[in-house]
Amino acid sequence: MSRRFVNSLQDGETLDEVFLLADRQLRANRNGDLYLLAQLCDRTGTVSGLLWNVEEDSVSHINQGDYVRIRGKVQLFQGNLQVILTHINAISSQGIDLENFVPKPTEKTTEHFQRLTEILLNLENPELRGLMECFLQDEEVKQGLIYAPAGIRLHHAFHGGLLEHNLNLSETALRIVDLYPKVDFDLLLAGIFMHDLGKLRELSFETSFSYTDEGQLIGHLVIGVEMLNEKIAEYENKTGQEFPRETKLRLKHMILSHHGSYEHGTARLPMTPEAIALHHLDNLDAKTNEYMSLIESDPNSGSNWTPYQSNMQRKLYKGGLDSTDFD
């Protein structure tokens, strides 16, 4: 019998399948009874599993990252599917077809990477082009870009999301070159490429999304500068030429300042035209996508508004009943 993937589960079906355990938590209901809340995932997605009335000891041997065999029943609850478990146990990874659990790059992601490569290898500035080449030929960076999300919540929170965000900014920049003749677009495009690259080490995104220790202690801005320093050393080794000091400073400055203001955790305030343009291009893409995604994923079809979003201190408007033009 073929595998039941997460994205094909249906209300009411009985399930006996292996999943990767992305997270596990013991919670208590108001009566003081414990239940297990498990995040079950494969390469197509994640579904919650609940096991009622457990003892702390009986599930202590099941850990995040294990492969688990579960039995249970799929149920629709408040618009989402979940699995009511009757059994869960860790199993060995031997004999498991890992391809079912590791996400594969979609065709779209592959196209994104090719298009971004094309853009960066066409920079006119030879040093920047050479530096970009070093990044693009680094298999780890390439794999990271294909799988990394742009964040763990909010905008572009999916495999390949960082790449899509990166490309959207680059495309926008390319199309407005003639409107800002005094802005150095080669520098801007390199800065766009670099600005969130530190997320490859800030985030853990193999199966589910979370922050690494390094990510929380150092942050993707500074990690990005470290990655730049490493790649510049590689560039200089390879070419035997010193990378221009002025360009290096400006690139670092763009990475460190792209959050724009101290209250948003920037390390520096933007002080060059390219840095301020990067900051606002970033916001344009990130915020527009965040709004669209909150509106599209809202399950309350009866309301013109999303629930209150406390992080942005507002509700979003999904549209009035007579607004057929704006859905």
Q: Which of residues 19-48 bind its own copies (CB under 8 A)?
A: 26, 28-32, 34-35
- Of residues 108 through 127, those in contact with its own copies by CB under 8 A are 125
CB 47 within 8 A of CB 56: no
* Beta carbons within 8 Å of 49's beta carbon, 6+ residues apart: 36, 37, 38, 39, 40, 70, 72, 82, 83, 84, 85, 88
- Find the Cα–Cα–Cα–Cα dihedral 255, 256, 260, 262, rounded to 10°: 160
Among 143, 238, 299, 319, interactor with its own copies by CB under 8 A:
319
- Of residues 182 through 201, those in contact with its own copies by CB under 8 A are 182-184, 187
Among 137, 284, 299, 307, interactor with its own copies by CB under 8 A:
284
Among 87, 98, 244, 307, interactor with its own copies by CB under 8 A:
244
Minimum distance from residue 224 beta carbon to its own copies (Å): 10
CB 241 within 8 A of CB 184: no
Minimum distance from residue 16 beta carbon to its own copies (Å): 21
Cα 121 from Cα 112, distance rounded (Å): 14
- Of residues 162 through 181, those in contact with its own copies by CB under 8 A are 168, 171-172, 175-176, 179-180
Q: How many residues bind its own copies (CB under 8 A)?
A: 88
Nearer CB in complex with its own copies: 44/269 = 269
Among 262, 299, 307, 308, interactor with its own copies by CB under 8 A:
262
Among 3, 10, 14, 52, interactor with its own copies by CB under 8 A:
52
Cα 167 from Cα 153, distance rounded (Å): 19
Stretch that binds its own copies, among 2-10, 107-115, 195-203, 210-218 (CB under 8 A): 210-218
Among 23, 66, 273, 298, interactor with its own copies by CB under 8 A:
273
Nearer CB in complex with its own copies: 7/303 = 303
Minimum distance from residue 74 beta carbon to its own copies (Å): 13
Stretch that binds its own copies, among 56-64, 88-96, 105-113, 155-163 (CB under 8 A): 56-64
Number of neighbouring beta carbons within 10 Å of residue 244: 12
